[in-house]
Every structure is written in C-alpha cells, then in structure tokens.
Amino acid sequence: MHAVQESLLDAGTAPPPIERPRIERQAVTRAFDGVTCHEVRARTAVERVPEAAELPFQWSVSPYRGCESACAYCAARRDHRRLGLDAGAGFASTIVVKTGLADRLRRELAAPKWEGAPVALGVAGDCYQPVEDVYRLMPPILRALADAGNPFTVLTKSPLILRDLDLLREAAKVAPVRAAVSVGFVDDRVRRSVEPGAATPQRRLEVCAALNDAGIPCGVLMAPILPLITDSPDHLLATVRRAAEAGAVSVTPIVLRLPSGTREWYLAWLEREHPGLVPRYQALYGRSPVADADYRRRITAQVHSLAEAYGIGRDSRRWRRRRSPARQLTLA
C-alpha cells in the first residue's frame, strides 16, 4: 500500500478483520451469473438511516445488502463488513437477499408505534440491481407501502425501476411517492472506472425523465461529487444542466464521504487510477471520513446556485430538450 495512503487511513476507525460470515448458518445460497445470493429471512424491515450518511431521510427499507453496481465509493460496503462478508470485490458478487421483507414491512407499518414517517428504499444496496429481476422483492414492498398509505422515496441508479411504474403510480394515488436517481457526474469515462456495474449517467437521466413524465416526481441525488475528479465548474455545470433537462425536481449535492470500510477500497482505486491525487486527498480528508468543511461548503453552494439558475424545483421544464430523454429509453 502507498505510504501516503496508509497515513490516510484512520487508526481509530480502521476496519476489523473479516470475520466468519454471520449469515452462514441460516442462509440458502444460490448463484446467478457469477453472483452469489444468500437468502435470509428478514428480521426487520424499517431501519434508521445513520445521520452520518447525510441523506435527507430518517428511515429506510433495503431488500438487498451488497450491490452489483460495484461503486468504489459505496458507503454500504461497511455493512458488508459488519456481516462478516468481503467489503471489497465481494460487495458486488455476494448479495444478501432479505426474503419475506414485504410481510415483515406490513407488520411494522401496522404497529401502533409507527407514525407513518417517509421511508427511503434502497439505501444499503440498489433495490433495482440486476438480482431484483430474479427475486422481484420490490413489487410486494411497494404494495405494502401503498396499502398502508405510507410516503416513500425510491433511490436507484437502475432503469429496472420502470418495470414497476404502474405500482408507483398506484401508490402515488394514496401517499406522496418520489424517486431519486443518483447521478454524481455525467462523464461516462469516470463512470466506467468508478461505477463499473451501474447504468450510464445518460440512462439514469432518461429514467429520471421517464418517471417525471409519468407523474412520479424524480430528483437527482448528485452523489457523490468526487473531489479533484468531478468537482470542476465544468463537471458541476454539465451535471446540473443535464438534471434540469431531465426535468429533475431537485438536485441534492453530496461530496464523497470516506467512512471506514469504504475508505480502503476507494483509496486503492484512487491509487490505481489517479495516483497523483493521493497526497491531495490526504490534505483534504486527513483522517476524517468527510472532506474539509470549507471545501464541502464551496462545492455544495456551487451546485445550489447552478440548480437555482436552471430553475430546478421551480421551472426546470423549460430546460428540457424538445425531444425528451424519456423518449429515447427502450424498456426491456
């Protein structure tokens, strides 16, 4: 490991060694296209979102742990490590599937102590990643939320969400339903390197446009903005402009976080792909999981002012291309 990279790792938050997988005994294991799925019975459905995640949600429901999109920066890698699984390459090839989640969710939503707070779907792993096409856990989850009239937001990078468009529309008749596609940048060369299993930014923006056209308000989670890689004024402008063209109802900037479990994997990627940036990351992050506060303030202010200029959240529709990106989308 690069000496500078070593000094970037926080001794206080260094990850524990990988333990024996804690799910091993209960799980039924199946393999699909090089992905190993451990099927475990869901013990809880609604989980609290850690404040440190900086997401605008308090509660989440995640049918999968691990994610085939394999984003080098994914904060959910830490959860894999907590389960005793490999948070590196194994994060994308070993997926924990929470079976019976919809039934469990129905019970939790019906509990007297549950007050109907909005929930986010897909925080610990993309809920529309490819294995969802096999397990189809999302339709009964959406029905459970709709039957309870519970507000929710779906977070995804995947066009597979459009499979469930009718269910989203049905749910939207009884409760506020929103979606957010995660598009931290629109440069596909960067995407191929750092998000190798994810749909292209263009395709995600087409999904955003299709959802908005269908009446499901969809925003762009501009996450993460990668310091010194996708934070230039040109990158920020291009991303916000394309979000506006897709009719995004909001743009939420989140600068890269590097908690333990994510940090090691991202820094290894950085050293491979951009070795010259490692010392500059050291200056920006030191041993903290978050970048320097002035830097974060500056970048988020830039994004907010671009979003304001494009009328996102007000009249961004005027920026939409005559030919809506949604029309370019071919549904499977």
Site membership for ligand SF4, residue 69 (CB under 6 A): yes
Which residue's CB is nearer to ligand SF4, number 224 or number 325? 224
Site membership for ligand SF4, residue 105 (CB under 6 A): no
Which residue's CB is nearer to ligand SF4, number 109 or number 224? 224
DSSP annotation of 331: P
SS3 154: strand
DSSP states along 165-207: HHHHHHHHTTS-EEEEEE-S---HHHHHHHSTTSPPHHHHHHH
DSSP annotation of 140: H
- Residues in 21-60 at the binding interface with ligand SF4, rule: CB under 6 A: none
| CA dist list (Å): 236 to 57, 162, 180, 301 | 24, 27, 18, 11
SS3 156: strand
- Residues in 143-182 at the binding interface with ligand SF4, rule: CB under 6 A: 157
Nearest to 53 by CA among 87, 76, 83, 84: 76
Whether the CA torsion 255, 260, 262, 268 is positive or negative: it is positive
Between strands 59-61 and 47-48, the pairing is: antiparallel
Contacting range for ligand SF4; rule: CB under 6 A; set: 3-11, 65-73, 130-138, 238-246: 65-73
Q: At its nearest, how many Å lie between ligand SF4 and the CB of residue 198?
A: 6
Q: At its nearest, how many Å lie between ligand SF4 and the CB of residue 92?
A: 7
Q: At its nearest, how many Å lie between ligand SF4 and the CB of residue 269?
A: 13
x/- site string to ligand SF4, residues 117 to 136, per CB under 6 A?
--------xx----------
| CA dist list (Å): 152 to 24, 74, 275 | 32, 22, 41
Contacting range for ligand SF4; rule: CB under 6 A; set: 40-48, 53-61, 69-77, 309-317: 69-77
Site membership for ligand SF4, residue 76 (CB under 6 A): yes
Site membership for ligand SF4, residue 208 (CB under 6 A): no
Site membership for ligand SF4, residue 198 (CB under 6 A): yes
Q: At its nearest, how many Å lie between ligand SF4 and the CB of residue 126?
A: 4
Q: At its nearest, how many Å lie between ligand SF4 and the CB of residue 182?
A: 6
Site membership for ligand SF4, residue 194 (CB under 6 A): no
CA dist., res. 70 & res. 74, Å (int): 8
The residues of the shown chain that bind ligand SF4, judged by CB under 6 A, are 67, 69-71, 74, 76, 125-126, 157, 198
